[in-house]
Amino acid sequence: MRTAYRCRAYPTDEQAVNLARTFGCVRKVWNEILEWRTKRYRVDAVRTNYAEADRHLTELKRRPELAFLNEVSAVPLQQTLRHQYKALTSFFARRSRYPRFKSRNSRQAATYTRAAFRWRGGTLWLAKQSEPLRFVWSWPDIDPATLSPSLVTVSRDADGCWYVTLQLDTDAPGELPATGAAVGLDVGINSFATTSDGDKIPNPRLMERKQRNLARYQRRMARTEKGSRNREKARRRVARAHARVRRARANFLHVTSTELIRRYDVVVVEDLNVSGMMRNHRVARAIGDCGWSTFRAMLGYKAEKWGRRFVVVDRYFPSSKTCSNCGHLLAQLSLKTRSWTCPSCRTRHDRDVNAAKNILAEGLSATACGADVRPGGLPSGDRPRSRKPDSRGLESGSVRAEGKSR
């Protein structure tokens, strides 16, 4: 299986200059090729394959005004073409949005293949550099000298921190001991997630806790002159504040997802239309702070890594409006209603716990009978729609999801 190790890097001044020049060339190639592809598609309705983009890159290197592209390693520039081709393929398959132009104020990265780096005894040598790149190894139980990375990505975040990512193929660590337990998860804002066992995982609300400081830093940056050194200092201060929130959120999601995968053999979640819910400006910030999409991705690859089963049920399944005791379906249930009593069996339900129980039951029954609920957490565009009629007599596949439809 594919594994990546991300470490903090500490380049020397000379290496930082060389890498910054490489980042600039990568950004220039990405923007030039993307603009050229877009014009060809809009004017001639022609899609550009990788070979055509590679020939156009050769033409760009021959231009006198772009001669600086020949001063850096050619491998990161070729990898940029591969990344862009992959992004466009995903766009035409309706799995992602159209690629955007790169900015110098965002994260910068350059990817090297084995032809452009050397790995000797845990020491990394990059092309066009006279000394090894220093980085800190954070896994004491793994000897880096025994690894054989096939790809190396050097990046610099907006806050100025450097990282090196080693990608390699490793053997799967093996399945975890079976626990015989399954769980359904209903994610939310008040509680980050509610399990079918009745447990509620608190939402840390990391962005909300730092919002006051972030607003102050952003006001200070707005008062500085564009292009000045004070502007750059203020921008980095804002970037560092966001980076602290991002790292804390990633740590929370990793700890939570790992604990769930270790405790349960089967994990069932709901396919949420997160991008549709983010269009609601009243809750967009709170939803973005939760990181539901990242959480689902973590559950998916960790389940595959440790031999667990990960199931995603259809987003149109009415998990909140269905009684988990008798199956009665409510006609309406407002978002403000956090608990309700079933009119058929008179069972009192907590909204989130009831939804988690229904998600678990739907996931287990659908996979058992071979329906279109699949393990692995496939994107909704790759998964067939459920055609079960809802309470209004409409097929669920014909209803457009603009939010969390239940």
pLDDT at 14: 95
pLDDT at 19 over 70: yes
pLDDT at 108 over 60: yes
Band (222; pLDDT cuts 50, 70, 90): very high
Same structural domain for residues 153 and 65? Answer: yes
| Span 232-261, average pLDDT | 94
Same structural domain for residues 149 and 187? Answer: no
Same structural domain for residues 118 and 196? Answer: no
Question: Which range among 51-60, 91-100, 339-348, 371-380 shows the weakest confidence by mean pLDDT?
Answer: 371-380
Same structural domain for residues 264 and 124? Answer: no
pLDDT at 184 over 80: yes
Same structural domain for residues 186 and 155? Answer: no
DSSP 201-252: EEP--HHHHHHHHHHHHHHHHHTSPTTSHHHHHHHHHHHHHHHHHHHHHHHH
In b/e form, how buried is each residue of 7-16, taking b as 16+ CB within 10 angstroms? bebebeeebe
**Rounded to an integer, what distance in angstroms lies between the CA atom of residue 40 and that of residue 47?**
7
State which residues form the domain around 41.
2-169
Burial class (CB in 10 A: 0-12, 13-18, 19+), 258: middle
Same structural domain for residues 132 and 29? Answer: yes
Q: Is 270 a catalytic residue?
A: yes
Question: Which range among 113-127, 284-298, 361-375 shows the weakest confidence by mean pLDDT?
Answer: 361-375
In a domain, 6, yes or no: yes
In a domain, 214, yes or no: no
In a domain, 221, yes or no: no
pLDDT at 248 over 90: yes
Band (395; pLDDT cuts 50, 70, 90): very low
pLDDT at 172: 77
In b/e form, how buried is each residue of 124-161, taking b as 16+ CB within 10 angstroms? bebbebeebbebeeeeeeeebeeeebebbbbbbbbbee
Same structural domain for residues 307 and 351? Answer: yes
In a domain, 238, yes or no: no
Tally the domains of the chain.
2
**Rounded to an integer, what distance in angstroms lies between the CA atom of residue 214 and that of residue 206?**
12
| Span 3-31, average pLDDT | 96
| Span 311-316, average pLDDT | 92
pLDDT at 376: 43
**Rounded to an integer, what distance in angstroms lies between the CA atom of residue 47 and that of residue 350?**
52
In a domain, 226, yes or no: no
Catalytic hit among 270, 271, 314, 362: 270
Which of 144, 169, 194 is the last residue before a domain boundary? 169
Query: pLDDT tens across 147-163, in order?
Result: 999 999 999 999 899 99
In a domain, 370, yes or no: yes
Which of 169, 195, 219 is the last residue before a domain boundary? 169
Same structural domain for residues 108 and 186? Answer: no
In a domain, 292, yes or no: yes
pLDDT at 397 over 80: no
**Rounded to an integer, what distance in angstroms lies between the CA atom of residue 132 and that of residue 362?**
54
Provide the mean pLDDT of the chain: 87
Catalytic hit among 186, 265, 289, 362: 186
Same structural domain for residues 267 and 199? Answer: yes
Same structural domain for residues 123 and 261? Answer: no
Q: Is 186 a catalytic residue?
A: yes
Query: pLDDT tens across 355-394, in order?
Result: 999 999 999 986 665 544 444 443 333 433 333 333 333 3
| Span 298-306, average pLDDT | 93
pLDDT at 117 over 60: yes
Same structural domain for residues 46 and 123? Answer: yes
Query: pLDDT tens across 197-209, in order?
Result: 999 999 999 998 8
Catalytic hit among 289, 314, 352, 362: 352
Which of 169, 196, 220 is the last residue before a domain boundary? 169
Same structural domain for residues 252 and 370? Answer: yes
| Residue bearing the bigger pLDDT, 252 or 369 | 252
In a domain, 77, yes or no: yes
- CATH number of the structural domain spanning residue 346: 3.30.420
Q: Is 314 a catalytic residue?
A: no
